[in-house]
């Protein structure tokens, strides 16, 4: 069936209309974005195929699995471990609520690991069924592009089969990177960290992003000694500086040893464990060293440059336009492989809009404004919109900042000394709320609702006129009526 794509009000003119293809769409990569794009394209009448590497919890160039990083070795198993790590401190907090607990509380890492693996196997099966139910043909093997309209699948037995497709979509995600330091082979990445045979008693983590602070919280919550090393003064570069400071204070308050402005220079295997040397001359002995130093687009084995697809010279990311189309008209790319905004829900949005644009007759460019996100440290951080620093940089006029810092009601009985902080950033001229952030229990659950308000262009006056739910932490967002500070757009930025 011939299909034409509508962009900017004009039908795409192509000489391919009368050409026969095996598929209307062939997707390489069955992670969140690839599965969404293939299913929704099939629902619009397209004949769709998708290929993915065989399932394994730890990815490599030859194994992966339907569901991709988020489901198998990312967001989902990570969140399961965060839940597991949260119980220890909560059991301690329960004592002041009248729960009489034994002094010794044992934790069974292997049991949690087994349950986590069972869950990702279950989800892997669900994703396969979703594809089958949508009529998408799944090929297990490694896919590579061999022409503008041709994909080669290297099957598990090594044989190669080629398929033609009117459109090819690259959705291969990203892969964890390792810094090039002596002894780097002794360290692990987040892939292995989610499947360790034994829970480490001593851990060193290099990195200051999402993965680093989340695993610091996980391992510390399970009783390990954790040393967190990062290059800046505060972790979570790119987030609101005030919130970064709160996260750092909370991590330290829960017993994590913080090493700001620190990197690792060498790892050495010893009888007692891995000796870690820092650029400050410190030596730390660890059972596990985790490199959480970023991820790179997964493009190396796709053969893209040989068919003319432009890649970013520095990162290897696939270059695309606003519709997720590469410089080769028949080849598209979504998700982390494009290195735009590397979040699972964003890949889902891009996959949805791709299907609507190419097969639904509704050209749509993804909107990257007001995308909420969360860091699942303990307690979590969640944000939407602009940070205070970003607002100051972008604003034409003054920026109004409203904050609330308080002891959560639960902590007043448990005795835990850990404040929750909330912030609203407002454009003084329009009264629109342009940023919101929160660090404290349930922050991601609360911020999802705040994101809807920002997406709708809510003003501070509308926040103030909203009746709160009492008693709750969330009600603070609609009762912050006292201005904390008014900041001029000319104020210099910090470099924390």
List the pLDDT tens digit at each of the 496 positions of the chain. Answer: 334 444 443 434 445 556 899 999 999 999 999 999 999 999 999 999 999 999 998 888 889 999 999 999 999 999 999 999 999 999 999 999 999 988 788 899 999 999 999 999 999 999 999 999 999 999 999 999 999 999 999 999 999 999 999 999 999 999 999 999 999 999 999 999 999 999 999 999 999 999 999 999 999 999 999 999 999 999 999 999 999 999 999 999 999 999 999 999 999 999 999 999 999 999 999 999 999 999 999 999 999 999 999 999 999 999 999 999 999 999 999 999 999 999 999 999 999 999 999 999 999 999 999 999 999 999 999 999 999 999 999 988 999 999 999 999 999 999 999 999 999 999 999 999 999 999 999 999 999 999 999 999 999 999 999 999 999 999 999 999 999 999 987 666 666 7
Rounding to the nearest 10 degrees, give the CA dihedral for residues 434, 439, 443, 446: -40
Determine contact, residues 163/23, Cβ cutoff 8 Å.
yes
Determine contact, residues 11/98, Cβ cutoff 8 Å.
no
pLDDT computed for residue 10 by the predictor: 43
Residue numbers belonging to the annotated binding site for NAD(+): 207-214, 294
Beta bridge partners of 226: 203
Q: Rounded to 5 degrees, what angle do the CA atoms 304, 310, 311 make? A: 80
Q: Rounded to 5 degrees, what angle do the CA atoms 30, 31, 34 make? A: 60
Q: What is the CATH number of domain 23-176+296-360?
A: 3.50.50.60
Residue numbers belonging to the annotated binding site for FAD: 79, 143, 172-174, 336
Q: Rounded to 5 degrees, what angle do the CA atoms 34, 381, 68 make? A: 20
pTM for the whole thing? 0.94
Beta bridge partners of 259: 229
The three-class DSSP label of residue 410 is helix
pLDDT computed for residue 490 by the predictor: 66
**Nearest alpha carbon to residue 320 among 301, 337, 342:** 337
Residue 236, judged by CB atoms within 10 A of its CB (0-12, 13-18, 19+), counts as buried
The three-class DSSP label of residue 138 is strand
Query: Which CATH entry fits the domain spanning 372-488: 3.30.390.30, 3.30.530.20, 3.40.50.620, 3.40.605.10?
Result: 3.30.390.30
The domain defined by 179-292 folds into: FAD/NAD(P)-binding domain (3.50.50)
pLDDT computed for residue 491 by the predictor: 64
Catalytic positions, written as ranges: 470
Q: CATH topology of 23-176+296-360 equal to that of 179-292?
A: yes
DSSP code for 337: G
Per-domain residue ranges of the chain? 23-176+296-360, 179-292, 372-488
């Amino acid at each position: 069936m011939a299909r034409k794509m509508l962009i900017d009000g004009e039908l795409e003119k192509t000489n391919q209309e009368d050409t026969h293809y095996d598929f209307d769409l062939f997707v390489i990569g069955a992670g969140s974005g690839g599965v969404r794009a293939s299913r929704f394209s099939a629902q619009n009448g397209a004949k769709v195929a998708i290929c993915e590497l065989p399932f394994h919890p730890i990815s490599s160039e030859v194994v992966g699995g339907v569901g991709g990083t988020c489901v198998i070795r990312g967001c989902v198993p990570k969140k399961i471990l965060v839940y597991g790590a949260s119980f220890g401190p909560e059991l301690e907090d329960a004592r002041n609520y009248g729960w009489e607990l034994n002094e010794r509380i044992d934790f069974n890492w292997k049991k949690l690991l087994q349950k986590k693996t069972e869950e990702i196997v279950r989800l892997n099966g669900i994703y396969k069924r979703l594809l089958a139910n949508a009529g998408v043909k799944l090929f297990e093997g490694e896919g590579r592009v061999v022409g503008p309209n041709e994909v080669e699948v290297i099957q598990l037995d090594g044989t190669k089969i080629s398929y033609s497709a009117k459109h090819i979509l690259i959705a291969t995600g990203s892969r964890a990177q390792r810094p090039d330091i002596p002894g780097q082979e002794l360290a692990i990445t987040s892939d292995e960290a989610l499947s360790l045979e034994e829970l480490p008693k001593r851990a060193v983590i290099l990195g200051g992003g999402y993965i680093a602070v989340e695993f610091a919280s996980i391992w510390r919550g399970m009783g390990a000694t954790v040393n967190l090393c990062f290059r800046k003064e505060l972790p979570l570069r790119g987030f609101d500086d005030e919130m970064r400071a709160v996260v750092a204070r909370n991590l330290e308050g829960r017993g994590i040893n913080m090493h700001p402005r620190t990197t690792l220079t060498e790892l050495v295997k010893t009888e007692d464990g891995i000796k870690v040397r820092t650029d400050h001359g410190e030596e730390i002995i660890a059972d596990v060293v985790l490199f959480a130093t970023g991820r790179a687009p997964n493009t190396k084995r796709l053969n893209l440059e040989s068919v003319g697809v432009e890649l970013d010279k520095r990162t290897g990311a696939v270059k695309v336009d606003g519709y997720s189309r590469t410089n080769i008209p028949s080849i598209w790319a979504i998700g982390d492989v494009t290195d735009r905004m590397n979040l699972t829900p964003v890949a889902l949005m891009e996959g949805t809009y791709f299907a609507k644009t190419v097969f639904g007759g509704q050209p749509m460019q993804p909107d990257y404004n007001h995308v909420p996100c969360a860091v699942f440290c303990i307690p979590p951080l969640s944000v939407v919109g602009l940070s205070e620093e970003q607002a100051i940089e972008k604003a034409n006029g003054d920026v109004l900042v409203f904050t609330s810092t308080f002891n959560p009601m639960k902590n007043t009985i448990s005795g835990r000394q850990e404040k929750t902080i909330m912030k609203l950033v407002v454009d003084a001229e329009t009264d629109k709320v342009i940023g919101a952030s929160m660090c404290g229990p349930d922050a991601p659950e609360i911020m999802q609702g705040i994101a809807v308000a920002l997406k709708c262009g809510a003003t501070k006056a509308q926040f103030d006129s909203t009746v709160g739910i009492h008693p709750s932490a969330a009600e603070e967002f609609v009762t912050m009526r006292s201005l904390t500070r008014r900041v001029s757009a000319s104020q210099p930025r910090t470099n924390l």
